[in-house]
């Protein structure tokens, strides 16, 4: 489909652009359906066509779909499946994630069907279904079912392998057993028994390796299954020939390796069981989030609560929530007062008071009083659903660091097969007698020791665990790449209002003159300001309400714009305003002049009050700094980061706030449209810049920064423009996000080091590199155990991130 066409001339222009693409023989564009029918003389180059359409000034419509993939076992599966999907006509990009078992496919609208994609995946030897269908089966249940099947296969393999190992190896260490076997069974019968047991293991529980590996080999994309199938089959087939046709071998070389073939399969099945269980735990964060929503809710019907399934609830319904129950859906409190535990949302353990008119979020816990809530959002529109979607998108993302692993794994398995073949030839030609036996053992060891799984799991598993843990802390990585980019940030710029400060003025300082009482002066000021719309006046009124003061009745209210207000309370005139307004009214403010000057230096707005012609006191109103802001700035500076503040305040006021926060770089008097320019100025010379903001006017700066961090108490547009969302308004979460980024990248580096280092070191050992000097050969069985351990190590190391705590 093509967007942007408005008339027939547009059609002609698009057709001309498409026909100019090499290989196109004919192009016909339908204005009504907005579709193009294109014929090719050569293989279709849809990317070139899409580029041509864009160059002509129109937009080729693209769609994307997420597929749940089954049957993947290693990184080679990922690269092969990506190649298969990218070859499909119309597919622009395909990204497959081994850890989440999902494929994200972008394609030109109308160029390919979902069914065609599923069929292509099926021909490659995997299973696929659209995620909307797949989501009906929980990911944890799917992992549990897979773990059960693997466990059953492993138990069967173990039961068959143990007697095989005892029969084959124990006689070498226990002479009486050797005599018993020779006398009671005989060598030929013993080998037949071993053959039967090994055959049952390979073509029973081990059949999964052949079912996946052989098609992959035939399609030219061998994977780990192919390595296991080749290695175990080579050992088994050699042993079968040595058992039933020993005359084909030179004297003394007809050895059997049935136990090696069986142990290889059994150990790798054990590794798979452990790996699937660990992967299930790694991805359990989303399942825990989904479990936060109850299946039913008490909906008010005819004045009484009735239990209703969540799917039947619509916006506007009134839901009754008892103490201890979870809030079922997002809504607004219409009756009752309670404290709500929002820790699943913000990471903060302290319950928050909720009363009439305030919003509650589905999944949070009502801890004390009963609430009646009017439902405002359901389904995918709820905060919890959006959180789940953000976490899923971040978990499915590929970090830039993964590009290296992807490039290596693309050629890894073919390279291993080549090394195995060369190893076999070298041992066959140059090895000691029986050279064929040595050649077979080393070749099988090379095939089995290699582990592309570990390389494929190194990055995505860490991302899964880290983003899940972040969600538990109230930090949502909307873009997975932000995990890596945040590690490289050198400067963090903060918007002031609503980010570093609470976003609304409060009474911060209050002093009264001799002969006056605090409550008397505050009540008088609030009574006058009740008639004012100025934010400073509202702050004074709010302070009086907090103290529950009785306000006097006033008359003759008058406001002088930009100066102050006056009113009469009984027989006394009350005057509130700045120093110049007080001077105009004949009130001497000298007693509070020094105090007022100090308040102004701190970025606060001093306001004087006179009652009955006498100076009664001085107020200071300011947008107060969040308690967490000072802590967060100090912690970030301790990590070596430079902190900056962007504000629309006057330079002197902004610098005063900067001093209180410990921020040296202050960019003041910035209009909303100038924040992007401020970001670019601050970024000069820094590695990368992160911007933290919360308002609509912060959205361009959030998008322009290398990493945009939105405070979740802000606006939706700011959140949608950011890479990272802090669900609470506290800035300690910024420190936690940076620390988690560093921890995740260290974890990924450890995984990649292990995965690559393991193969670099052990493949040569398996090939026999240590034999000439030390006489050491690596048994295929030990290779199978090491290979299984490699994947388990990587996943287990990633799981350490579940215990992450910000310092």
| pLDDT tens figures, 704-744 | 888 989 887 555 655 667 788 888 778 888 999 999 999 99
Q: Which three-class secondary structure string do you get for 673-739?
A: HHHHHHHHHHHCCCCCEEEEECCHHHHHHHHHCCEEEEECCCCHHHHHHCCEEECCCCCHHHHHHHH
Of 722, 749, 778, at which residue does a domain stop?
A: 722
Closest CA to 487 of 511, 504, 462: 462
Answer left, alpha or beta for residue 138, where phi above 0 means left and psi between -120 and 50 means alpha: beta
Q: How confident is the model at residue 789 (pLDDT cuts 50, 70, 90)?
A: confident
Helices (H) and strands (E) in the chain — how many of each? 30, 30
Residues 592 and 639 in one domain: no
Tell me which of 536 and 82 has the higher pLDDT: 82
Q: What is the mean pLDDT of residues 567-573?
A: 86
Query: Can you point out the beta strands (E) in 378-440?
Result: none
Inside any domain, residue 404: no
pTM above 0.75, yes or no: no
CATH code for the domain in which residue 586 is found: 3.40.1110.10
pLDDT for residue 314: 85
Positive or negative, the CA dihedral 156, 159, 161, 164 is negative
Tell me which of 639 and 404 has the higher pLDDT: 639
Q: At how many degrees (to 10) do helices 258-282 and 435-449 cross? A: 10
Given a cut of 90, whether residue 43 has pLDDT beyond it is no
CATH code for the domain in which residue 656 is found: 3.40.50.1000
102-137 pLDDT, tens per residue?
A: 888 888 876 777 778 888 888 888 888 776 544 434
pLDDT for residue 7: 47
Domain that holds residue 329: 314-377
Residues 513 and 618 in one domain: yes
Cβ(319)–Cβ(370) below 8 Å: no
Q: What is the mean pLDDT of residues 214-236?
A: 76
Distance from C-alpha of 416 to C-alpha of 451, rounded to nearest angstrom:
10
pLDDT for residue 753: 86
Residues 75 and 121 in one domain: yes
β-pairing verdict for 689-693 and 707-711: parallel
Residues 648 and 610 in one domain: no
β-pairing verdict for 491-495 and 642-646: parallel
Residues 512 and 612 in one domain: yes
Inside any domain, residue 142: no
**753 contact partners, CB below 8 Å, separation of at least 6:** none
Two tokens, residue 105: 């496919």
Distance from C-alpha of 85 to C-alpha of 285, rounded to nearest angstrom:
29
**161 contact partners, CB below 8 Å, separation of at least 6:** 197, 201, 259, 262, 263, 265, 266
Q: At how many degrees (to 10) do helices 75-86 and 207-218 cross? A: 40
**321 contact partners, CB below 8 Å, separation of at least 6:** 297, 298, 327, 328, 366, 370, 371, 372, 373
Positive or negative, the CA dihedral 629, 630, 636, 642 is positive
Least confident of 79-83, 120-124, 227-231, 342-346: 342-346
Is residue 488 part of the annotated active site? The answer reads no
Given a cut of 90, whether residue 196 has pLDDT beyond it is yes
Q: How confident is the model at residue 177 (pLDDT cuts 50, 70, 90)?
A: low
Q: How confident is the model at residue 147 (pLDDT cuts 50, 70, 90)?
A: confident
Answer left, alpha or beta for residue 23, where phi above 0 means left and psi between -120 and 50 means alpha: left
pLDDT for residue 282: 58
Inside any domain, residue 295: no
Of 606, 622, 638, at which residue does a domain stop?
A: 622
324-361 pLDDT, tens per residue?
A: 888 888 899 999 988 888 766 665 656 888 889 888 88
CATH code for the domain in which residue 327 is found: 2.70.150.10
Distance from C-alpha of 273 to C-alpha of 267, rounded to nearest angstrom:
10
Q: Which of 406, 495, 579, 694 is catalytic?
A: 495
Of 558, 593, 622, at which residue does a domain stop?
A: 622
SS3 763: helix
Closest CA to 692 of 648, 736, 731: 731
- Edge to edge, the sheet with strand 338-341 lists 352-354, 338-341, 365-366
Mean pLDDT of the chain: 80
577-589 pLDDT, tens per residue?
A: 888 888 888 888 8
Distance from C-alpha of 698 to C-alpha of 673, rounded to nearest angstrom:
9
Q: Is the peptide bond before 126 cis (omega within 30 degrees of 0)?
A: no
Residues 586 and 640 in one domain: no
Cβ(654)–Cβ(494) below 8 Å: no
Inside any domain, residue 450: no
Q: How confident is the model at residue 203 (pLDDT cuts 50, 70, 90)?
A: very high
Two tokens, residue 33: 């359906």
Tell me which of 448 and 177 has the higher pLDDT: 448
Residues 511 and 615 in one domain: yes
**H/E stretch holding 574:** strand 572-577
CA of 550: how far to CAs of 84, 358, 390, 524, 592, in Å? 76, 26, 49, 9, 27
Inside any domain, residue 200: no
**757 contact partners, CB below 8 Å, separation of at least 6:** none
Concatenated DSSP letters of 336-373:
--EEEE-HHHHS--S-EEE-TT-EE-TT-EE-SS-EEE
pLDDT for residue 287: 65
Given a cut of 60, whether residue 172 has pLDDT beyond it is no
Total number of domains in the chain: 5
Given a cut of 80, whether residue 67 has pLDDT beyond it is yes
């Amino acid at each position: 489909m093509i967007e942007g066409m408005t008339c027939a001339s547009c059609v002609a222009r698009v057709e001309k652009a498409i026909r100019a693409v090499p290989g196109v023989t004919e192009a016909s564009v339908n204005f009504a359906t907005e579709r193009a029918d294109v014929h090719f003389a050569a293989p279709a180059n849809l990317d070139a066509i899409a580029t041509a359409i864009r160059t002509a000034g129109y937009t080729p419509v693209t769609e994307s779909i997420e597929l749940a993939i089954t049957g993947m076992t290693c990184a080679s599966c990922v690269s092969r499946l990506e190649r298969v999907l990218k070859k499909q006509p119309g597919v622009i990009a395909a990204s497959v994630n081994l850890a989440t078992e999902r494929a994200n496919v972008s394609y030109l609208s109308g160029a390919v069907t979902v069914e065609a994609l599923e069929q292509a995946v099926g021909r490659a030897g995997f299973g696929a279904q659209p995620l909307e269908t797949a989501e009906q089966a929980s990911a944890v249940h799917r992992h549990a079912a897979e773990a059960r099947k693997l466990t059953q296969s492993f138990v069967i393999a173990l039961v068959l392998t143990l007697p095989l190992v005892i029969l084959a190896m124990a006689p070498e260490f226990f002479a009486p057993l050797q005599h018993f076997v020779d006398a009671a069974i005989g060598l030929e019968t013993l080998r037949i028994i071993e053959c039967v047991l090994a055959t049952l293991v390979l073509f029973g529980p081990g059949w999964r390796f052949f079912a996946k590996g052989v098609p992959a080999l035939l399609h030219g994309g061998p994977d780990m299954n192919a390595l296991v199938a080749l290695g175990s089959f080579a050992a088994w087939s050699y042993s079968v020939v040595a058992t039933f046709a020993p005359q084909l071998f030179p004297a003394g070389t007809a050895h059997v390796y049935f136990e090696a073939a069986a142990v290889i399969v059994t150990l790798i099945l054990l590794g798979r069981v452990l790996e699937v269980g660990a992967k299930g735990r790694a991805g359990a964060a989303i399942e825990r989030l989904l479990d936060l929503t109850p299946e039913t809710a008490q909906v008010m019907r005819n004045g009484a609560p009735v239990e209703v399934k969540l799917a039947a609830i619509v916006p506007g319904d009134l839901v009754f929530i008892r103490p201890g129950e979870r809030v079922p859906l997002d809504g607004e409190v219409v009756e009752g007062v309670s404290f709500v535990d929002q820790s699943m949302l913000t990471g903060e353990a302290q319950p928050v008071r909720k009363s009439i008119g305030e919003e509650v979020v589905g999944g949070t816990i009502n801890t004390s009083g009963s609430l009646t809530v009017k439902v405002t959002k359901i389904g995918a529109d709820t905060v919890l659903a959006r959180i789940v979607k953000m976490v899923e998108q971040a978990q499915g993302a590929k970090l830039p660091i993964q590009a290296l692993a992807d490039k290596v794994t693309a050629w890894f398995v073919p390279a291993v097969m080549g090394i195995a073949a060369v190893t076999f030839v070298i041992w066959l030609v140059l090895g000691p007698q029986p050279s064929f036996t040595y050649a077979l053992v080393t070749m099988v060891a090379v095939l089995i020791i290699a582990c592309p799984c570990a390389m494929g799991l190194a990055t995505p598993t860490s991302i899964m665990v880290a983003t899940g843990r972040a969600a538990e802390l109230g930090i949502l990585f909307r873009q997975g790449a932000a995990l890596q980019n945040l590690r490289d940030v050198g400067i963090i710029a903060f918007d002031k209002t609503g980010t570093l400060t609470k976003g609304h003025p409060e009474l911060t300082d209050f002093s009264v003159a001799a002969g006056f009482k605090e409550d008397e002066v505050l009540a008088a000021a609030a009574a006058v300001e009740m008639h004012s719309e100025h934010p400073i006046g509202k702050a004074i009124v709010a302070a009086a309400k907090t103290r529950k003061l009785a306000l006097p009745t006033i008359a003759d209210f008058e406001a002088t714009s930009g100066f102050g207000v006056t009113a009469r309370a009984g027989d006394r005139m009350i005057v509130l305003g700045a120093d110049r307004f007080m001077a105009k009214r004949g009130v001497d403010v000298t007693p509070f002049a020094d105090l007022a000057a100090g308040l102004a230096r701190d970025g606060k707005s001093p306001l004087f009050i006179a009652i009955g012609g006498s100076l009664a006191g001085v107020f200071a109103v300011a947008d107060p700094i969040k308690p967490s802001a000072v802590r967060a700035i100090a912690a970030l500076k301790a990590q070596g980061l430079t902190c900056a503040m962007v504000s629309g305040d006057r330079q002197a006021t902004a610098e005063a706030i900067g001093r209180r926060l410990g921020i040296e770089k202050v960019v003041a008097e910035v209009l909303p449209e100038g924040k992007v320019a401020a970001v670019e100025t601050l970024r000069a010379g820094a590695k990368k810049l992160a911007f933290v903001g919360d308002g609509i006017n912060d959205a361009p700066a959030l998008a322009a920064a290398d990493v945009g961090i939105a405070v979740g108490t802000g606006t939706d547009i700011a959140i949608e423009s950011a890479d990272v969302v802090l669900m609470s308004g506290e800035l300690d979460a910024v420190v936690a996000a940076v620390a988690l980024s560093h921890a995740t990248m260290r974890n990924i580096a450890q995984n990649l080091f292990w995965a690559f280092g393991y193969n670099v070191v052990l493949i040569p050992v398996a090939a026999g590199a240590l034999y000439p000097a030390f006489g050491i050969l690596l048994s295929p069985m030990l290779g199978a155990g090491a290979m299984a351990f490699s994947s388990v190590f990587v996943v287990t190391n990633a799981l350490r991130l579940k215990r992450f705590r910000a310092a």
